[in-house]
Amino acid sequence: MGLTGVVRSGLSRWLTPLPAPVALAAPDLPDVRTQLAYAYIRGQGIEFGALHSALIVPAGVAVKYADFEPAETLQTLFPDVKNIKRPDIVSDLESMKGIETASQDFVIANHVLEHVEDPLRALRSIARVLRPGGIAFMALPDKRFTFDSTREITPLDHLIRDHEEGPDNSLLDHYREWVRCVDDLHGDAGTAKIAAMVEIRANIHFHVWDYPTMMEFFAYVAKQPGFGLEVESSRLNGIEVIWILRRRNELI
């Protein structure tokens, strides 16, 4: 299974198989990621959600791996994936519980942010654990080139509302859209699938962006002093956009 085929859908993967992503002529995703990693990644840091496709980093860089479940559970969730990186840290991107403030030179999270229910909270946590000048390296799928292509883009005001009020009120709508647009289930079959997803709080692509709306999202974050992050670079890379954010020097 290649990079384009891995979808971190958690337990929802057990319920129905996911469709294949839309084919797209593209550069080799790992090669472009590696080029940017060699330009920006230094020191010691953490990669979240590497699964079997950890970012290649320069010699001398120290990486610890983090995921939301221990290795044995990940292997159960993704039985077809070989050589899963065993997490050094069991934590989630939203809270980064157990990771000290200003302790990391970088945080890597490729195809992870779309899976968190409150992406703004995740970015606050990333900024919290980064040292001043530290780098957030994130790749996000562009919906135009994936199985999310028929879904509605997540508006910025929706993300702000979920951050301010909590994401629970949006959860059911996300599952309904997923079942309708991605699983193509309707009627009783759709209702049953939604109920099963709610019961286990299934992990899906909660949020959907294309490149322009990612720009809007990260521009909003950069303008908010409470996040302490600024956009260093972005690059369209096949089905994804790679974003490089830098932790500003001022305290959050």
Residue-by-residue DSSP string for 12-52:
GGGTSPPPPPPP-----HHHHHHHHHHHH--SEEEEES-TT
Instruction: Judge whether 188 lies within some domain.
Output: no
Instruction: Judge whether 57 lies within some domain.
Output: yes
pLDDT at 9 over 70: no
Looking at residue 29, its pLDDT comes to 77
Q: How confident is the model at residue 28 (pLDDT cuts 50, 70, 90)?
A: low
Instruction: Judge whether 140 lies within some domain.
Output: yes
pLDDT at 252 over 70: no
Instruction: Judge whether 190 lies within some domain.
Output: no
Q: What residues pair up with 242 in beta bridges, in sequence order?
A: 139, 235
What percent of the residues of the chain are helix, what percent strand, and what percent coil, each to the nearest 5?
A: 40, 20, 45
Instruction: Judge whether 168 lies within some domain.
Output: no
pLDDT average, residue stretch 195-223: 97
What is the pTM (predicted TM-score) of this model? 0.87
- What are the DSSP E strand ranges found in the chain? 44-48, 62-67, 89-90, 104-110, 130-141, 229-237, 240-247
Instruction: Judge whether 169 lies within some domain.
Output: no
What total number of domains does the chain contain? 1
pLDDT average, residue stretch 196-203: 95
pLDDT at 250 over 90: no
Looking at residue 225, its pLDDT comes to 87
Q: How many angstroms separate the CA atoms of 41 and 107, rounded?
A: 9
Instruction: Judge whether 86 lies within some domain.
Output: yes
Instruction: Evaluate whether 104 touches 135 at the Cβ level (below 8 Å).
Output: no
Domain with 104 in it: what CATH number? 3.40.50.150
3-state SS class at 215: helix
Q: How many angstroms separate the CA atoms of 123 and 128, rounded?
A: 8
pLDDT at 2 over 80: no
Express each pLDDT in 51-107 by its tens digit: 999 999 999 999 999 999 999 999 888 888 888 999 999 999 999 999 999 999 999
What domain range includes position 14?
A: 3-147+205-247
Express each pLDDT in 137-185 by its tens digit: 999 999 999 999 999 999 999 999 999 999 999 999 999 999 999 999 9
Instruction: Judge whether 142 lies within some domain.
Output: yes
Q: How confident is the model at residue 122 (pLDDT cuts 50, 70, 90)?
A: very high
Higher pLDDT, 148 or 28: 148
